[in-house]
Structure 1
Amino acid sequence: MKTNLHYIIVSITLIFTCFLTSVIAQNNDKDKFVVVLDAGHGGHDSGNLGSGYKEKEIALKIVLAVGNELKKNSDIEVIYTRKTDTFVTLRGRAKIANDANADLFVSVHCNAHNSSAHGTETFVLGLHANQRNFEIAKKENEVIFLEADHEKHYEGFDPNSPESHIGLTLMQEEYLDQSIKLARLIEDSFKFKRKRNSRGVKQAGFWVLHNTYMPSVLVETGFLTYKKEGAYLNSKNGQSKMASSIIEAILEYKKSLDQNVGENIYNDSASNADDLSNEKELIYQNITFKVQIAASSRDLEPKSYNFNGLSEISKEKVGTLYKYYYGNTSDLNKIRRLETVAKQKGYTTGFVVAFKDGVQINLSEALKTSTN
């Protein structure tokens, strides 16, 4: 009996220890900023072959260089969708990012065109603004046809159909502002630090971005079909420089998430922060305006000491991020004044957002409603 009791106690102890270890491991993982790096194409999908170079090889080398540098930061965890010349389905790439509960998804590609087009482009998910953007998305999405049973796995999505691309935007919409922010940082680094020709931040219907539930971008590092640019991207120097821009942008993006959040800075003049003028009210019926001042992976109490002395702070969890807001009013003039106050307090990237019945809507849509 004692033997059995001893066995039971040991078993329970082991199970409890394993449980604690698992919980601790999960908590440790959550403390890290998770970046999923996706090298486009791979295996029997070579991508484009402009000027005789292979997109799949160049994308992989850039991604590995980015990952190796990011891993030097103890608070960043890097996950690759592929580290070798293997074929990974689009749904498989998205699943890797979602299962990792990633904070960022960055997909790297090389462009192609039957013209002298050249330069970098970074895409976020959205309606294709023109036929050119649609053609790029169509080209990248056509990898679906290389997969067995693609009709089953992609629920009737047709890469050749503009209507299919329109439907992609809905699920990623809530991460669009963060995605655009990262895309802009990448393109600015390409343009100003690497002196590359930047074609800007664009929106298009990429399936892999649609199915990742976190801020996501797809980077076209240049055109292999433009001989000079193809040679640059195929060189070790070119790959290193393109990787450096992506690294810098990711680190700057991460820094911005926690900027002015939780620094426990209290300004004695904060009591005057809400000392607003008596400007005429401009009330929008059934609309609530707020100033979004930060989006962070950190869960903070909405107290003034966490937000540079600003009062009337609220927060909302969206995916893996916490969005923090300042103010709560139906008066457009008041929220504009609060936006100014927030920027004076250091939240220079703050912007006005609108809610109707507790759901965030486009500001332009809110301003179309009637006023008192």
Structure 2
Amino acid sequence: MQTKRKYIKVFLVLTFITSLTCFGSLQAQDDKFVVVLDAGHGGHDSGNLGNGYKEKNIALNVTLEVGRELEKNKDIKVIYTRKTDVFIELHERANIANKADADLFVSIHCNAHSSQASGTETFVLGEKNTGRNFEVAKRENEVIFLEDNYEEHYEGFDPSSPESTIAIGIEQEVYVEQSITLARKIEDNFINKAKRKSRGLKQASLLVIRNTYMPSVLIEVGFLTNTKEGAYLNTKAGQSKMANAIKDAIVEYKKEIDQNVGKSMIGTEKVDKKTVEVLETMPLVYEDVTFKVQIAASSRDLEPKSYNFKGLSDISKVKDGKLYKYFYGSTSDYNKVKQLQEEAKSKGYSSCFVVAYKAGEQIDVAEALKSAAN
């Protein structure tokens, strides 16, 4: 016990010394938060042509505006699937995001309907494809027929088959909670900031986000087939309003993720390399606290086996309402759990974060860390 206290005291002293030299920096210098922005359609795929407007052009304009605003944030890196009027295959859009090890994938589109339906919708991947949701998924997925060798890339997938769309909903569901969090922020901003009508957050089996290994959403910024809404979305002012609502939601989401991960610890980036190595490997044990790495949340009850979690073992789960939360590792050593978090990130769980439990109840990580001073 005396040894553990000694380690904690050493850690606190070194951290305090570090704060004297870099007090202005309250966040550790991590890699930038990577956002992949995907403008729907493009090239010979015009998307919908409601009221004579071209979806591909409006989606691109909104996407580029979102990107320009996000790029003003030095902590965010923006990658585009397209910046010009070119055709990008659906599977390649996901590949771009995966190769970039992105933290978010955001696909932007415009809606269409045979009536004067209006309003925004933000979709996350899921199995709920009844009625209107299935029609949206079918329309967006039918783009594959414009691709060469689509049979090879999509393994016999049939956009007209409800069974096919249900099957793809499972693949990204480990990121459903984070995707829903972002989607809600986007729709809230459409209502409160852009002053637009919202049709809400929905789930559908959309190929463009099927194979992305990060939280992903598909946004329908409005109906081009609606006379007033189509005209609004075809204006620079309308596109700017929608883009800023999306940008603000992404920034808000990033702030929330940063807080959940616990990055507000005073940074150690100015400490010499040898000291950093000592700090990272030194046991930092908190009595009566258990740290875990939350890697996913899903409505599906998955077996906590390594083959379901990209080879990671020591998986546990808890049921929280309708969701199952999945965790990697279990330790009272804070430095150990940070190492486990890096391992999980290396396996593709880029948005994983540390959680803390005490007496079987989840508590804030910051609250757990305060016990070091006692």
Same fold (TM over 0.5): yes
Match of 1:264 in 2: 265
Letter in 2 for 1:324: V
Which residue does the alignment assign to 1:203? Answer: 203
Give the aligned partner of residue 52 of structure 2: 52
RMSD of aligned alpha carbons: 3.2
Does the CA-based 8 Å contact 1:290-1:326 persist in structure 2? no
Q: Which residue of 2 aligns with 1:106?
A: 106
% identity of equivalent residues: 58
Aligned to 2:138: 138
Mapping of residues 217-366 of structure 1, within 5 Å: 217-259=217-259, 261-264=262-265, 289=318, 317=345, 319-327=349-357, 335=360, 338-339=361-362, 341-342=363-364
Look up the equivalent residue of 1:85 and give its one-letter code.
D
- Stretches of structure 1 lacking an aligned partner (at least 5 in a row): 1-28, 275-285, 296-300, 329-333, 347-372
Quote the offset at 1:302 in angstroms: 7.2
Normalised to the residue count of structure 1, the TM-score between the two structures is 0.69
Q: Match of 1:258, SS?
A: helix
Q: 1: CA distance between counterparts of 2:365 and 2:200?
A: 26
- 1:326 deviation in Å? 2.4
Distance in structure 1 (CA, Å) of the matches to 2:127 and 2:157: 15
Report deviation, 1:115.
Answer: 1.1
* 1:46–1:54 contact (8 Å) kept in structure 2: yes
Secondary structure of the residue that 1:133 maps to in structure 2?
Answer: helix
3-state DSSP of counterpart to 1:321: coil
Deviation at 1:344, TM superposition (A): 11
Q: Partners in 1 of 2:48 and 2:365 — Cα distance? A: 45
TM-score by length of 2: 0.69
CA distance in structure 1 between the aligned counterparts of 2:89 and 2:366, rounded to whole angstroms:
47
Which residue of structure 1 aligns with residue 151 of structure 2? 151
| 1:127 maps to amino acid | E
How far apart, in 2, do the equivalents of 1:289 and 1:237 lie? 46
Q: Give 1:35-74 correspondences, 5 Å limit.
A: 35-74=35-74
Q: CA deviation at 1:320?
A: 1.4
SS in 2 for 1:173: coil
| Whole-Å separation in 1 of the counterparts to 2:30 and 2:84 | 27
Structure 1 contact 264–305 (Cα < 8 Å) conserved: no
Please give the secondary structure, in 2, of the residue aligned with 1:225. coil
3-state SS in 2 of match to 1:124: strand
Contact 2:288–2:332 (Cα < 8 Å) also in 1: no
Cα-to-partner distance string for 1:185-227 (whole Å, 9 max, x where unaligned):
1000001111111111100000011111111000000000010
Distance in 2, matches of 1:263 and 1:66, equals 27
Report the CA distance between 1:259 and its aligned residue. 1.2
Measured against aligned partners, the alpha-carbon deviations of 1:27-78 in whole angstroms (never above 9, x if no partner) come to xx97111111000000110000001111000000000001111111112111
**Residues 244-271 of structure 1, C-alpha deviations (whole Å, 9 max, x = no match):** 0010001011111111513238xxxx99
Secondary structure in 2 aligned to 1:79? strand
Q: How far apart are residue 345 of structure 1 and its match? A: 5.3
Structure 2 residue 112 is the aligned partner of structure 1 residue 82:
no
Q: 1:302 to 1:126 in 2, by over 3 A?
A: farther
Q: Is the 8 A contact 1:290 1:327 kept in 2?
A: no
Instruction: Answer yes or no: is the 8 Å Cα contact 2:355–2:365 preserved in 1.
Output: no
Residue aligned with 1:172, SS: coil
- Paired residue type of 1:220: E
Closer, same or farther: CA 272–174 of 1 in aligned 2, 3 Å: closer
Structure 2 gaps of 5+ residues are: 1-28, 267-285, 291-303, 305-315, 326-330, 369-374
Does the CA contact (< 8 Å) of 2:126 and 2:203 recur in 1? yes
Structure 1 CA distance, aligned partners of 2:95 and 2:334? 38
Structure 1 residues 60 and 155: CA distance shift in structure 2, 3 A:
same
Higher RCO (C-alpha under 8 Å, 6+ residues apart): 2
